Amino acid sequence: MPAGSRAAVPNSRAMADTSPLAGTTPDRDLSHQPYAPSKLENLPYDIKYLILQSISDHDTLVKFSQASRVFYNIFREHRRALFQYLMFNEASEYMEESYLLACLGDQLSNNTMTVAYLDNLYQCYADSLSPTAFEHPWYYREVLRGGASMRAKISECHKGIKEHCDQFIRRELKPKMKLRPPKEDGTDHDELPPTDSERRRIMQALYKIWLLLKLHHVRVADPEEFAPASRNVGTPTYPLRADVARYLKLWDYWDLKVVQVLLPIFWNDMKTKYDKRGDSLIREALSNHEGDRHDDCLWTLTR
């Protein structure tokens, strides 16, 4: 080795003393040291609230809140707001009907609508169902501008629709199977609970029924009979008005079948609020359109 080469080699001990890792062992076992994980409870209050707000399922929200005292306290303090936000998110899955019903509100029950206005309403709804529509309907923007009051209205309507859905499931989809022999333990057979897709289809049908019933009771101004001394409102007569029946043409065969099944059950719960003609008129219109939609369904399946 050439002379002076030792002086060129750095002192490894001196480097170890000045290193940031001085006094540590690279392969040292740290498993015996206590581990302090980052807990959700240590997050800021508003972040914890946003976590609860982001949960989109009712049962998950309740169970998650009960698993932590900190989150449960926030949940209990803001229960009403959290459930309202949850209902609004669920209603947004059916925005074609839920947003429209909320924006029109009492207009469908108390106001008189012109034929031109009803035509525009129908076209807006048809565009909302079309994936190739040029722009979203006006009532989508109305919901965004409506703020908290509009969300509350949509949430309240959705809550009522959901109660009808749960009631239908309890009465019709989960009956005791009395026709089958009892099981070995002596209990009766139960139907399987509805799937998420079944529940969603029921909710969609209930929204469609609600829309049809509201449209059926709209007071329509007839410009040809307009006169100050005479009544200018056309009372719904047989058959179902064409401005209501045309909505049936926008829905596919299976949507109509679910509406057809649910209509008499839903009507029985709402018969004190609406006159009895609406049920028979809509059922008659459904029967008239069933053949056309059945042909469309067969054509689709055989393509």
**Which of 16-30, 93-107, 164-178 has maximum average pLDDT?**
93-107
Query: Are 168 and 138 part of one and the same domain?
Result: yes
Residue 261 lies in a domain: yes
Query: Are 45 and 134 part of one and the same domain?
Result: no
Domain count, the chain: 2
Residue 54 lies in a domain: yes
- CA of 155: how far to CAs of 92, 140, 152, in Å? 9, 15, 5
Residue 260 lies in a domain: yes
User: pTM of this prediction?
Assistant: 0.69
Q: Which domain holds residue 52?
A: 41-77
Query: Are 121 and 261 part of one and the same domain?
Result: yes
pLDDT tens-digit profile of 285-303? 555 555 555 444 433 433 4
Query: Are 63 and 159 part of one and the same domain?
Result: no
- Dihedral sign computed on CA atoms, order 161, 164, 169, 170: positive
Residue closest to 58 by CA, chosen among 38, 79, 41: 79
pLDDT tens-digit profile of 239-295? 567 778 888 889 988 888 888 888 887 777 665 455 455 555 555 655 555 555 544
Mean pLDDT of 12-40: 50
Query: Are 160 and 281 part of one and the same domain?
Result: yes
pLDDT tens-digit profile of 170-188? 877 765 545 556 666 655 5
Query: Are 268 and 204 part of one and the same domain?
Result: yes
Element containing residue 114 per DSSP (H, E): strand 112-114
Q: How far, in Å, CA of 41 to CA of 146, rounded?
A: 34
Compute the C-alpha angle 92/243/112, nearest 5°.
85
Convert 84-114 to b/e letters by CB count within 10 Å (16 or more is b): bbbbbbbbeebbbbbbbbbbbeeebeeeebe
Residue 184 lies in a domain: no
Query: Are 146 and 257 part of one and the same domain?
Result: yes
